[in-house]
Amino acid sequence: MGCADLSSQTNRLIACRSSRDEAGNVIMASSSVITVPAFADAGTQVRHFFGTRRHAMGLGLEAGIPRRGIAGSASSSWTLSVKQVHGTEALVVDRVLAPTDRFVGSWDALVTDQPGIMVAVRTADCVPILMHDPKRRVVAAVHAGWRGAVAGIVPKTLALLESRFGSRLEHVRISIGPSAGVCCYEVDEPVLDRLCQGFQDWKKVVRTEREGRAHLDLKALVKEQAQAIGMSPKSITTVNVCTICHKDLFFSYRREGKVNGTMVSAIGLPVKRV
């Protein structure tokens, strides 16, 4: 898909408030967030969103410090993000949070089965991935740049859901959020070398442009990895939007040459009603 195709899909999504991915899954957009109705239709009414630069959720959210009632989450919910380092480690939050909690360390995936906790990741070209198993009532938020993706953060997080929570892949739903698109994400030889070593089917996710320049499709990479271990394509929704193309909607490290801001994407189980 070229830059013009991605731009057309993005404009259609924002203008019409809805679109469909290649698998036919519906994607919804408001003025500030993108959601996937299939998550909410799974029976647990899971709360989730992919943020844009118009979304104020990041205000008041510090790495490793739980926050209650910030923008984008219910006042009764905690939201947690952590320091990210382009690795593959996952933090499991398996207890109720308290205002005094501090999570000192680095993780690129957060997993929880606790109602009332929104786990969040920050991105500015990397891929935010949200996971939900409605059967085992567990959710995950994953941050994947090319390093984390090549190192297998997505299959490793899925394996954690299986081993720790008893999830079965046929029950898990994945949504791949806005990130640098193959239209714009040029990579050099060292990145290609790492990709070739870490992913056997690397040719499926690399496109050669004019003058022999290689472009990496990050979204396709994580999707291919999930399918390689047994995920059905029907269980994976892709928000096929490029963060580099759309300055008005997304922050982009690649476009701006520095971190001017990040988008926050989050998912959580609702607080149980008594």
| Residue 273 within a domain | no
pLDDT at 234 over 50: yes
Token pair in block for residue 266: 């989050």
How confident is the model at residue 271, as a pLDDT? 82
Band of residue 23 on the pLDDT scale cut at 50, 70, 90: low
Higher pLDDT, 210 or 232: 232
Phi, psi (rounded to 5 degrees) for 191:
-65, -45
Q: Which residue has the tokens 């690795």?
A: 87
Which pLDDT value is given to residue 32? Answer: 84
Three-state SS at 11:
helix
Of residues 271, 204, 265, the one with CA closest to residue 49: 265
Q: Which domain holds residue 39?
A: 3-268
Band the pLDDT of 6: cuts 50, 70, 90.
Answer: very low
DSSP per residue, 221-242: HHHHHHHHTT--GGGEEE---B
Nearest to 265 by CA among 255, 251, 254, 247: 251
| DSSP H or E segment with residue 110 | strand 109-112
Decide if 274 is inside a domain.
no
What is the average pLDDT score of the chain?
Answer: 86
Contact 134, 267 (CB under 8 A): no
Tell me the pLDDT tens digit for each residue of 123-174: 999 999 999 999 999 999 999 999 999 999 999 999 999 999 999 999 999 9
CB atoms within 10 A of CB 226: 24
CATH number, domain with residue 120: 3.60.140.10
Q: Is the pLDDT score of 3 beyond 50?
A: no
Query: Does residue 9 form part of some domain?
Result: yes
Number of domains forming the structure of the chain = 1
